[in-house]
A and B are shown apart, each in its own frame.
Chain A
Amino acid sequence: MGLFEPDEIKRERRTLAGREISVAVTPPLGERSLLAAPAGLLKGMGVTMNYLSHPSKIVTRQYPENRATLKFPPRYRAMLQLVYEDSGYHRCTGCRICERACPNASIKIISRRGASGKLDIDRYIWRMDSCTFCNACVQACPFDALEMTHQFENAVYDRRLLIFTLNRYAGPPASVLEKEPDPQKREAMMEPRDRYGGPVPMSGQPIPDVRPLGPPAPSEADPAPQAQTERGQS
């Protein structure tokens, strides 16, 4: 072992409670190389000096003057949303794996017996007020139906506005809808959903000065052209 080498960490097999397990062993204090500690400190100083001398490594972004040109790291996590296919259909089958994966119960899926006779989602409710943006739901989803977007400016004056219905329509996912050739039947299987509608705090109780976001109420528009416009926006 060299004088400036960091201490070698050996792997040993030890019997613990009757079971043989692999452990990492560092040498005892007396056997460590004398200059390993100062060498380690110097190495750390090298790291910080590297940061100081390379301003290109700075990760802080200035904000809000440049919000138009703001660039995000690829894995930046903010607003959760359902992934929509080009056809405007989501991928969610309502299997509730994300609901179980959520560590603080921020996701609640209400399913219904749809027009096709099978179980599909009625409302995908996401509580941003308790969400920690841990990404567990996105990782758990077997259909890649969820994604974290970069929309981070979510401040509101009423916390009821932090509870969203994520799905734009109640109904089966794209995998089912795309197999149905008849547009009339497809339409029959889908029912539009409001972002703040349904069994969430804002439901039925208008908040003063707050215009509900998301698609208009079901009676005002039919779902198919609506899916068209939203595709155009995204």
Chain B
Amino acid sequence: MIIAAAGTNAGPYVVRTVADRAAAALPVSPLLSVFYMALSLAAIGGLVAVVGMFLVYLERKIAGHFQCRLGPMRVGPHGILQTFADTLKLLFKEDTVPRKADRAMHLLAPFLSLTATVLVLGVVPYSPSLQIVDLNIGVLYVTAISGLGVMGILLGGWSSYNKWSLLGAMRAGAQIISYEISATLALLVVVLLSGTMSLSGIVQSQASGWWIWRAPVVGLVSFIIYLIASTAEVNRTPFDIPEGESELTGGYHTEYSGLRFAFFFLSEFINMFIVSALAATLFLGGWMPLRIGSWETFNAVMGLVPPAVWFLLKTSAILFLFMWVRWTFPRLRVDQLMRLEWKILLPIGFANLVLASLVVLWNLYFFPGA
């Protein structure tokens, strides 16, 4: 099935997902269909490895420079091979399970966490031709699956038989479930504005302007709410109380080592990538170039940059913002964290949703006709 871009302003972009290609190839040659599926599996696996390693290196390097340090410098020029060395170390490290731990659950938890993360990668629209599958309930799917990641964290903390792990897991549960409400409210605003839950559909709805500025005020407000709430969801400073090292040593993954620790670690960084990719997709137009209404020349110039590059640029910008915030802000207390969500973000989120419905009702966008 080929989804034609809606309207003339959507430009030359035709969304064709890998799943569509596989479905089209199935009656002709089942082998090609299987090849497509294998290709997408390999792509996701590669993405997880590459993005994970790259982000870990980037984070350490940027963190260093934010703090007047150098970051990794020893392995390879400017330490670029440091993450490979660390990965090798984690692969060969002994995988220990505490004696009194619930063994089966302890071993299962990291897989749950990573599975939830990897499942989301399949629906992220990287470019019109690079998306594994485009679900018509994309936003709902993303919210539901990333909610599953909490299960891994809770299970890991619970089964470790360690007070730090348990405390960290309980904090993570409380925090992620609380902040998911705000994040979902922010996502709902975009669903309301674009009239679709399909992620590719949302990107195409931003052909004449990104939602962050095309919907006056509500777009920006929901973008900021989503940024704050998703920072909390991926357990990053200033909301890193589930693994606050000065209070809980390591939080929910205190008792994990070797490969299983790597899984938790990896899923954390991939989650950050996913959250950034979603923020870019929903609020900054995803792979859509910067297009402003009917400024044809401007749009044409912007259109020269390939969509995948646009996606990458926007996602990296938000990733950088996350790192910047992490290495600047101090950690919140548990009560401050809950107050911020339930007393500040949630009322603003609801008010914003009502305002957004008014914007949609009275067609108050910039470039309403587009």
Binding site for B on A (CB under 8 A): 41, 44-45, 47-49, 51-52, 55, 57-60, 62
Contact = CB atoms under 8 A, between A and B. Distances in A.
Contacts of B325: 45
A62 B68 contact: no
Contacts of B62: 52
A60 B69 contact: yes
Interface centre among B68, B73, B324, B327, by most chain A C-beta atoms within 10 angstroms, is B68
A58 B329 contact: no
Given A60-B70, A62-B70, A44 B65 contact: no
A44 B69 contact: no
A177 B327 CA distance: 57
B328 interface: yes
Contacts of A59: 68-69
A47 B328 contact: yes
A171 to B, nearest CB: 46
A127 to B, nearest CB: 31
A49 to B, nearest CB: 7
A51 B70 contact: no
B64 to A, nearest CB: 8
A218 to B, nearest CB: 47
Nearest to A53: B65
B66 interface: yes
A47 B68 CA distance: 11
Contact of A60 (B66, B68, B329): B68
B67 interface: yes
Given A44-B328, A62-B70, 4 more contacts: A41-B329, A51-B65, A51-B66, A62-B73
Contacts of A48: 66-67, 324, 327-328
Given A44-B329, A45-B324, A45-B328, A52 B66 contact: yes
Nearest to A57: B68
A59 B66 CA distance: 12
Interface of B: 62, 64-70, 73, 324-325, 327-329
Contacts of B327: 48
Nearest to B71: A60
B70 A52 contact: no
Instruction: Identify the 5 closest CB pairs spanning chains A and B, nearest first.
Output: A48-B66, A48-B328, A60-B70, A60-B69, A52-B65
Contacts of A62: 70, 73
Contacts of A55: 65
19 contacts: A41-B329, A44-B328, A45-B325, A45-B328, A48-B66, A48-B327, A48-B328, A49-B324, A51-B65, A51-B67, A52-B62, A55-B65, A58-B65, A58-B68, A58-B69, A60-B64, A60-B68, A60-B69, A60-B70
Contacts of A57: 68
Nearest to B326: A48
Contacts of A45: 324-325, 328
A51 B66 CA distance: 5
A48 B67 CA distance: 7
A49 B66 CA distance: 7
A60 B324 CA distance: 20
Contacts of B324: 45, 48-49
Contacts of B66: 48, 51-52
B36 to A, nearest CB: 42
A185 B66 CA distance: 62
Interface centre among B62, B66, B324, by most chain A C-beta atoms within 10 angstroms, is B66
B68 A51 contact: yes
A58 B68 CA distance: 4
Nearest to A62: B73
A58 to B, nearest CB: 5
A59 B68 CA distance: 6
Contacts of B73: 62
A42 B73 CA distance: 30
A52 to B, nearest CB: 5
Contacts of B70: 58, 60, 62
A59 to B, nearest CB: 5
Contacts of A49: 324
Nearest to A38: B224
Contacts of A47: 328
A45 to B, nearest CB: 5
Contacts of A41: 328-329
Contacts of B64: 60
A131 B364 CA distance: 70
A136 to B, nearest CB: 27
A92 to B, nearest CB: 38
